Structure 1
């Protein structure tokens, strides 16, 4: 799924959380893409080499794939989540679960053609060939559902006030 949609869905999912926790969840909901693709896109902007459409795989530096493998791995997420729970003396910090939601959504919305989700890294290189999040039909459905979700949030706020 595209990064903007990850952030918007995370906001919907965490709507009833404290504001600070919701903002942390939104951060973790988009962080896997920001950390892996962010430096690449910033470099492209600085070099005035912004591609029209999706960049070719050949134009993407190897470090993007390496970071992507770490940020899109359930194994890595479990390790980080466990360390955070230990650091917090057994208390779970739920905003971190938005990172897991990002990975799970990406498993179902990436194809072999462009960055399939390495969700079992580093234990396995097995990936799933799912639907393409950039497919226009998927994008229309996804953003239509987001619009409906935000309209419902707005409706509920109007009723409660």
Structure 2
């Protein structure tokens, strides 16, 4: 009987110990897109609000940089143009400049300084290499303000 109680106690302590050691390893991706045929994910996000526009910059673990500039600070869709939305993507020495696309700010929280949205664009290099960026999204990015 004593052995049985000891085994039950040991089993209960093992279960409690295992539960206490569980760690949630959920990583929330905040800025990502499909670039060409590859998944691009930002590990460094640098969104900045300059007056009534946002500049959202992300850098991947391999150093590839995406920059989105939105000439507005309210939720809505911004079509690609120098007066509305522009984008660039840098992969090493190659820099792709956007030529068409769209960005939608789905949420702009000016008091909490957070933005979310989705985008796509087509970009080219000076030697006319084309790159498609699609399924782009950024979620709950906290931005800083700059004058």
TM-score range, shorter chain: under 0.3
TM-score by length of 1: 0.26
Query: Which structure would you say has the larger Rg?
Result: 2
Q: Which one has a larger percent strand, Structure 1 or Structure 2?
A: 2
TM-score by length of 2: 0.27
| Greater RCO, CA 8 A, separation 6+ | 1
